[in-house]
Amino acid sequence: MFLALRQLLNVLRLCLDLNGPLLSPALYLFEYVRVHYEERVEAFDARFGTDTTSPFIERQRADRAYFYVPAPASVMAHVLGTLPLEANKFEFVDLGSGKGRALLVASEFPFARIVGVELSDHLHRIAEENVKRFKPPSQQCAQFELRCMNAADYAFGNEPVVLFLFDPFGREILERVIASLEASLNSTPREAYVLYICPQFEDVLQRSTALTKLKDGGPRWQPWNRYVIYGAVSVRPASAPDAATISS
């Protein structure tokens, strides 16, 4: 009985998974329309001569499809602006960086280094070209490191870090990523923030013993603009905010 119930729950979870075989084609069509409308409003690529807007779908296994859509630049800029980032101290890590939109937005903030990790070689090469093209006067960090690899295998360094996630992969990979971050924070306590946009699997962060929720925001009827911010609990220096002090 218990095994049958568990199998039923797994089937329901697969059906509701936005990256799963049932919902992903419909969601791709929706996102294709949405991001092109968003580009007409924000004109990100038009302003910077980059190629970050067009969605891209890639089937990596017979039962799953993963697709790229760009991170909402205005939401990213707003949320990064609320973090108390000491200049040239934090590294920005985007796991599932796609064509690099989030990396480009982050470069307009005073990070010490910007790391993009992407599994798709096709998207990785586009991101490399976008980084070369993106040279606005507002850019504050030009230290990019792009890696074509599985995000689950990424090893965090010892620097204070802002981890960015735009619903990049499924629950299993996210669990491995957060476990890796937890181990890194326990080994080397330091400031760390997790910015998770479209937090489909926020419960993974909620269960973390190394992270605490600081803020959430964005309209609930626009999941692509919803976000949560989690911070490390292993260290709480004077400059690190709590839920009450992060600005809205």
Both tokens of 20, joined, read: 């799963």
Average predicted confidence (pLDDT) for the chain? 83
Residue-wise pLDDT tens digits, 206-241: 999 999 999 999 888 787 789 999 999 765 444 444
73-232 has CATH 3.40.50.150 classification = yes
89, pLDDT greater than 70 = yes
Say which residue the tokens 């009985």 belong to: 1
> pLDDT tens digit string along 151-163?
999 999 999 999 9
Q: Across-strand partners of 116?
A: 94, 146
Give the pLDDT score at 234.
60
> What are the residue boundaries of the structural domains of the chain, listed by start?
2-68, 73-232
Tokens of 97: 């960086």
Confidence at residue 66, expressed as pLDDT on a 0 to 100 scale: 61
Burial 209-224 (b: 16+ CB within 10 A, else e): ebbeebbeebeeeeeb
Which amino acid is located at 181 in the chain? L
Prediction pTM value: 0.82
Residues 52/76, Cβ–Cβ less than 8 Å = no
Whole-angstrom Cα distance, residue 68 to residue 56? 5
pLDDT of residue 34: 75
Per-residue pLDDT tens over the stretch 38-76: 777 788 999 999 999 888 877 654 444 467 888 889 999
Of 141 and 242, the one with more pLDDT: 141
